[in-house]
Amino acid sequence: MALAPTNSGGEPVIAEVEMNAGADQAATTVRATVVQASTVFYDTPATLDKAEKLIAEAAGYGSQLVLFPEVFVGGYPHGSTFGLTIGSRSAKGKEDFRKYHAAAIDVPGPEVSRLAALAGKYKVFLVMGVVERAGYTLYNTVLSFDSLGKYLGKHRKLMPTALERVFWGFGDGSTIPVYDTPLGKIGAVICWENRMPLLRTALYAKGIEIYCAPTADALPSWQASMTHIALEGGCFVLTANQFCRRKDYPPPPEYTFGGHDEEPSPETAVCPGGSSIISPSGTVLAGPNYEGEALLTADLDLGEIVRAKFDFDVVGHYARPEVLSLTVKTEPKHAVSFTG
């Protein structure tokens, strides 16, 4: 494991690079980086500037695939209640939502075009968590771009967790893609969606090989989930979380943290990271990192996927479709449809 400081601006970022010296070099390998860094909250242009610096640093390590955390663009509203109690919403909470809505991005839109250009400029496959704005509804979304600078598509989180359901809409079966790329088959599932076995099964059936899991979960149990998915799916799992402190959010009273006995100090880690990369055999290749902002990089030996599938192919030789089967409804669901 090699450690080197990087320069993304602000606090130092640590890059963790696992060179996989023992891997079979005759097999196809992919160098992948997961980014563990905080949003510049309420400032989307500054967040995109920070993203470019981090992408450039990852590309400097020879990375071909770069994964960012859940809603890196737009931000994860840790501690915010949006002024909600059962039966009422405060004026401040409504204003908080207005500002959050303003920091979100349209898909497609100028921010998507910039991200596509960054992927092409640095020649990386880019997987980026964003807050998507569709009219007045927001979605927790992952965007994917190829190394030629082409926007490939999006995945909207199917089931926001707990209070997230108040400020994010629900995705549907039309946005659960797996992209067949020169690096392998790549897809993304967001945070606690990863606990939905039927959704995972849908991705396994699409042949996912590099499973991206951007998250906001820094609990130790998250690592167990990621290891299980790597073993169950016979795939590489990349999970990226933000590392952010109280000072990365606006100060009170503009932004206040609920769920605490008292306002956290500026240096309090409100999300301590835990990003990691795990192989199909369950081996941890990089991370988990709980120390600060970081780039975690590993070489993925794609031959490991075949070796793992020999043991267990969940939708292949280990499936029993005459007993258990899954139907996925892939049509987009609209609240209003117009006919001629």
CB neighbour burial string for 75-108, b if at least 16 within 10 angstroms, e if fewer: bbbbbbbbbbeeeeeeeebeebbeebbebbbebe
The secondary structure of 195-214 as a DSSP string is G-HHHHHHHHHTT-SEEE--
pTM: 0.90
The number of C-alpha atoms within 13 Å of 78 and in the hemisphere containing its C-beta is 27
In angstroms, the CA 202 to CA 95 distance is 39
Residues 182-231 have pLDDT tens digits of 999 999 999 999 999 999 999 999 999 999 999 999 999 999 999 999 99
H-helix or E-strand containing 51? helix 44-60
In angstroms, the CA 128 to CA 141 distance is 8
In angstroms, the CA 21 to CA 81 distance is 47
Token digits of residue 269: 């880690």
In angstroms, the CA 154 to CA 309 distance is 27
Residues 163-190 have pLDDT tens digits of 899 999 999 999 999 999 999 999 999 9
Residues 6+ apart with CB under 8 A from 45: none
Going residue by residue through the chain (340 aa), what tens digit of pLDDT does each one get? 333 334 445 554 555 444 443 444 444 999 999 999 999 999 999 999 999 999 999 999 999 999 999 999 999 999 898 888 888 889 999 999 999 999 999 999 999 999 999 999 999 999 999 999 999 999 999 999 999 999 999 999 999 999 899 999 999 999 999 999 999 999 999 999 999 999 999 999 999 999 999 999 999 999 999 999 999 999 999 999 999 999 999 998 899 888 777 888 999 999 999 999 999 999 999 999 999 999 999 999 999 999 999 999 999 998 999 999 999 999 998 889 898 8
Among all residues, which ones are annotated catalytic?
Answer: 70, 157, 191
Cα angle value 122/124/127 (rounded, 5°): 125
In angstroms, the CA 14 to CA 7 distance is 9
In angstroms, the CA 73 to CA 142 distance is 10
Tell how many helices (H) and how many strands (E) occur in the chain.
7, 18
Q: Which of 44, 37, 29, 48 is nearest to 11 (CA)?
A: 37
